[in-house]
Each structure stands twice: as C-alpha cells, then as structure tokens.
Structure 1
Amino acid sequence: MIRLLILALMVSALPLLGAWPAVLLAIYALAFIPYFALLPTRESHSAISWTWLLGAALLVRIWLVFWPPILSDDLFRYVWEGRVFVAGLNPFVLAPNADELAFLRDSEIWPSINHSHIPTIYPPVAQFVFGLNALFDGGTTSLRLIFVAFELILTGLIVKELPALRRYQFCLIYLLNPLVITELAWSGHLDALAYLSALWGLLLWLNRRSVVFVGLVLGLSISTKFLGVMALALILLTPGRSLGQKAWVALVSVTTVGATYLPFAEAGPDLLAGFGTYAASWRSNDIFFRAIYSLSETVLTLPDGQKVVFDLPQGSLASDQISATLGKAFAVLAMSCAFVWSVTVIRRPAQGFLLLMGTLLLFAPTVHPWYVAWLVPFAAVAEKPEDTPMARAALIWSTSVILAYLAWLSYGNGGAWHTPSWAAWVQGGLVLFALATTRAKPHLNS
C-alpha cells in the first residue's frame, strides 16, 4: 500500500514541478521505482486489492487532466482539428494557418498549435474523437477526460478476454505504469485508443470471436493510428483459423478504414499529405537510425569536409538524403525479419506485435516517449512478463525513454530540440541488455 501511495504521489506531483524542469524529469523517472516494486515476481504476488489498484489509477488520471500539458503541445492540435471538423471544414486539406480558418483562432488554443503549416497527420477516427470534444465546445481538459473514458472502457473489454488469473496482472502493469498515465492523462496523447483497440482485436481473434467484429475493431484501430495495421498483418499471416475467416477480417478492416475516410474524401490525393511530411522529415530520439545515418554521413564526407552529392537527371541527391534513405531501408529490413520471426517462430499475434513494435521503435527516425507506451499493454498480457525477454525489455524502455525529454529540457533553455546521442544509446543499450539477460519461458499465451 505504501508503494502505491508513493507512486501515485510522485506522478501526481509532476504538473506542480513545471518551474523546475530538471526536477520534473527526475521525479518522472524515479516514479518507476515504486512501480517496479509493485509488480509481482516469481516468488510473490502483489498484495494490492482491486479497489486500491483501480481507484489509484483513476484518481491520478483525473487529477492530471486538469493541469495544462507542458511536455508536449500535441493536445492543442487535437482540440483545433476537432473544431475544424465540426465547422464543416477538412483538416486533411487546410493547415491550421490557412486563411479560411482564421475565424477559429483564439487566444488559448491557436498560439500553441505546432507545425501550423502542415495539414493533419491523424487518421479519421482520431478526427471523430476530436470532433466529439468540439461538439460540446470542449478544450484540453474535456478531451483528455474523453481519452481516459475510452481507455478505461477498452481496458475493461480487454480484461474480459484474458484468462482470470492474468486480469489482475494486466491491470497492475498497464494501469499503474507512469509513462502510460502521464502521456495519456497529462500530455493527452490519443495513442491509448489505438493500441488498446489493436490489442483487443488480437485477443478477440485469439478467443475465436466473430471475425466481422474482429475486423471492425482492427479497422477502427488502424483508422485511429496507422500502426494498428501490424495487428491485421499478423492475423492474416500467422498460422491459425481458416483462410476464409482471415479474408473476412481483412475485408471488414479495409472496408471500415475506407468508410471512415469518406467524410474527408474531398481531399483526394492530399489525404496523406500531412502524414507524408511527418514520415519524410521528422527526427527525434532515434536510436539505431541515428547510428546508421551518422555512419553513412561519415562515409559520404570527403577529406576536405565537403559532402558527396550525386547528380541525377531529375536533380541532385545530397548526402543527408542518402543517409536518411539508408536508415529507413535498414528499418524496413529489420521489420521484415521481425515479421518473419513473428509468424514462423512466435506464432502468437499479441507477442508478435510486441516484437514488431519494439523493432520499429529501435530503428525508427522518430521515437517519442508516448510511442514507447504502445509496448506496455502488449507486455502486460505475457504470462510472466518478468520471464519474457521482450516484455521485460518493453517495461524497462518505458522507464529509460524519459531520457528523450532531455530534448524538451534543451529547448526550454534556448537550445535545439535534440536528444543527446548518449541518451539514445542508453535507451537502446538497456533494451538489448534486457533481451540478452532475461531467461525466456516456453509456451507463453498471448
């Protein structure tokens, strides 16, 4: 009970520490000490009652939603895009700084919108949730309350699909994780809606529920954040159930995604313009991508310090373009290997998703802390997370990724938004160390 109280107080104190950013990050990281102390081990089980567990998880979330987010400004963009949608305009066409949207600008949301020259990068279901908030003229607090409500509903639906002996474990590991709590309830990232619906869809498939319903759930996940497509791919290619059932899941998923895009179809080829800009140019807290990029840049630098440039018929290809392409090519290769391993060796979609997502994050050019939160619920459904290399590595990474916020600290002090290389190497090193030193148990059910 004391450990739960300490954890709740430390996470709840984070918004109060905004005037001391370094202290805030330190407390954020230290909150994982009581969190890991609460987790069951091979020798013992947690003694926290269901009432205390769920009560603490809910109260901390409700407390955090009433504080302005300072670690990220994405939430302001969400609120803005909901208002654009409800006004009958298309956020896939109109960037926030478009003249047509001038009438929506205010003194609270508008000044905090990031990348105002780029149309939305968020898929349709995300827009529907943003619009639900805007229907009631909601702001940042009400939208986060909506996120928390959806998160708790989806958690309950997931728990129903888990074996009775693993329900408590899932709630303990997922609901009390400081990264999950902070990134959803305080910073207000919508990722929980996407990763919980993806996990729910995989568990529905595992428990042989209606294939139409499985396809619908996965389609909604994909149309909230595209990463859910990995869950669909794993279902289609992992052995189990008939080809006809898999075809139905695929058909319903694709139809669901297509249907959600219909209200925005006027954007035409620009539907993915914002997301394309993100995928092509964003870089933050990259790990192996950074190593490949740096090595390539070194090779393509002449002795006099000049960068190599290749002249092509359609223009020139600079060394930084080559380096970024090589980094993404390695990411594709790593993901391909992880996918083959998932469908041929692991053969359990939920655990396969954990491997795929972890591999993607290790090689991706952008690894925000809330991206790592995707790993936590999939780690929490492992039979024995402390004995499962991938699950243990995921939970450790949910701690070490706090180092990514050194970029926020640097930016606040007038520097560039840049995570130091040593911080990226520490994250990657701890993940690899956990993978190498954890004794795997056979027959894990996902």
Structure 2
Amino acid sequence: MARAAARADEPERPNKPDISGISPDVGSPDRAAVQRHTVRVLMTAQVVAGIGMGSMISSGGLLIERLSGSAATAGLATTVTTLGAALISVPLAALSRARGRRAGLGAGWLVAAVGAVTVLVAAALGQVPLTLLGMLLIGAASAANLQSRYAATDLAEPGGRAGALSMVVWSTTVGSVLGPNLSGPGEALAPALGLPGPAGTFVFSVAAFLAGWAVIRLRLRPDPLLLAGGPGTERRPAPERLGVRLRGALRQVTASPAALTGLGALVLGHAVMVSVMTMTPVQLAHHGASLSVVGLTISLHVAGMYGLSPLVGRLADRIGRVPVILLGQAVFVLATLLAGTSGGRQLPVAAGLFLLGVGWSCATVAGSTLLSESVDAAHRPEVQGLSDTLMNLVGAGGGALSGALTALYGYGGLNAAAAVLSAPVSALALYFSLRRRSTR
C-alpha cells in the first residue's frame, strides 16, 4: 500500500501533454500557481451551479407529489436524480481520462441543464414519467459536483489534498444554501409560465447549470488532469478499454484496506444523508410547515454539508482521515436521534438536518481523500468514477426505500434505520486503524 501511495504521488510523464507550456515538475512554481487557479475556477463553478442543485432539492419531491397526487411517490424525485448521477459518473470519469477535466465536468453541467428544461416542459404538460426523465438527467449535476472535488486534488501536494478537496466542497455552500430559498420566488413565478408551484424553481436551475458549464469550459485552462500527467493525456477513449480499466480499478480498491474504508464511508454515509433528507420536506409539509420553512430547513442541511468542510479538510490533514470518518459516524447517530424524535417539531428537525449535513461532510471529505490517495494514479479517475457510481446507486436505494419506510414506520423509523448504517462504517474504520497500528 505504501508503494502504491508513493506511486500515486509521482505524476506520469506524457509524451505530448496539452498544458500550454506549463512545467510538469512537481515542485514547479508554475504548477503551484495552476493548482491555485484550478481551485478558484472549480469553486466559482460550484457556487453558481450549486444554485441549480439547491433549488431543486426542496422542490423535486413536492413537484412529483403534486403531479402524481400521492405522497408515497415523493421519494422518487431524489431516487431518480441519484440514479442519474450513478449512471453518468463512470462515463464522465472516462471522458475526463480521455479529454481532461474540462470535458468531463462541462458535460455534466450541460446534461443537467437539459434535464431541468425537460422538467419544466413535463410539469407544464402534467407528465410524471417525463418529469422523472428530466430529474434523471439532472443527476449529471450531482456527478459533476462530486467529481469536481477530485479535480481539486489532481495537482495538490499530499499534505494538502484534503484541504484542497474541502475548499471545493465548501464553495457549494453559497449556491446550495441560496437555492432552496428560491422555492418562494419560484412558486410566485410558476403561474405566469403555466407551471405547478413547485416547478418554478427549475427555471433558476436551468440558468445555474448553464453558468457552471460556461465557467468550466472557458476558465479551466490548463486542464489539471492533463497537467498532472494522468491517464487523460493518453487520449485513447476506446470503449473496449473502459471495462478493462474498471476491473483494474475494482481490484485496486479491494486489495487496499484503506481504499475500502474510504469507499465504505462515502457510500454508506451518502445513503444515510439521502434517505433522511428525501422525506424531510414531506414530513415538514405534512405538519403544516410552509414552503419557506421547508426551504430554510434544507438550507441549514446544505450549510452543514458544505459550510464546515474547510475545517473538516484541515482536521483530516492534521489528525488523519480515519478519525474524521469515525467522527462523522458519531454525528450521523446524533442527527438521526434528533430528527427521528422530533415529532414534527420544526426546530429539532432543522437541528438534526444540519448535523446530518456535518456527518456527510466528514464522511465525504475524509473518505474521498483516503480513497483517492490509496490507489495507483493510473487507475485513479476510474476509481473516482466508480466510487461516485456506488455512492449514488446506494443513495438511490435509500431514496426509494425512504418513502416506504416512512409510510410503514413513520419518520422516526426511517431515522432509526438510517442510523444503523453507521455501524459497518465504524467497524471497518476501527479494523483498518487497528491493523495499521499492528503493522508499524
């Protein structure tokens, strides 16, 4: 594992990298300057495109419920969006490998914009299946958002990877906190466009996703993955090679306890967050909360996800990835306890949702960094795409089951089931930590 980590820190030297004359040496001042520029551009894209993601979080479930007339179908909005992210994560990673991060991330935001337009058309027609198709395409925004954090580590020094990654995660705060609060303006805008009230916020999503695409396509130069000398410089996007590389990526993860720990934290942490967050707007609405209150609660949740991430990143660089992963599991348990015992009271639900976001931040920042640095650089883009696919597949399952669990056992039962998912991650992290100590 140590040898793999060492190799991961040594960039491969492509024959003809498209890096606009920038020196590929690790210690080069030019390289450091490009890293700072890359992080700034990624942060800018996350800010503007995050508005599109945040605005649909609080409105997607309510729109499906309005169109279908059934509360049990509300969870489908998050389910299909998460499934869309899962389906497109690996293709985006393959596109990044073949043509660089600009191509991969830009395609994600553009597909999401097409999805938001589809939702608007479908909502005007009252078509539930077409609305779900649009939300499936919007999942590309989640995939691009997740892969942006990895782009921040392409040129980062080993001791600063978690910090760089966390800054990109943090930058989503501005747009994502603002986005849910557009529910009110969106509802006011909807009648003028002939749309159901919850569909109005998707107008803002279209503009935000297009802005994110423009920032990436125009400003992310030179491309960080190409400059790092990663597999993207090979420019061989042959489809038959993707399966081979994915199998190699899977072998890399299964052979490394560190990578498995990071992957477990990412996947199950995402499932906890998605399952509880999906049904919270419906729970609040059923207890008389207005759309503005629902939007504020989701904003607090998103602030917990992203707002403290720079602190989480520094902590992960200072005390280690595994302790921060364990901290996240403890916060998850506290969050689900607060929300699950709220009885529909708005303040405990809001506090629980905020802590749910903090737990997700710990699991995502520390888990992503641990996973990325524990595999060989040659397989890193595919491992990153594979991890995002698994995250979103499990999240989609959580979103799909959340409505049924709530119907059967109530919102408290849903939170209890989510809390149980922290147990295997904690066990895996403790096992890896004890094994690492015993081998020293």
TM-score by length of 2: 0.32
Between Structure 1 and Structure 2, whose CA radius of gyration is higher? 1
Greater relative contact order (Cα < 8 A, sep 6+): 2
TM-score by length of 1: 0.31
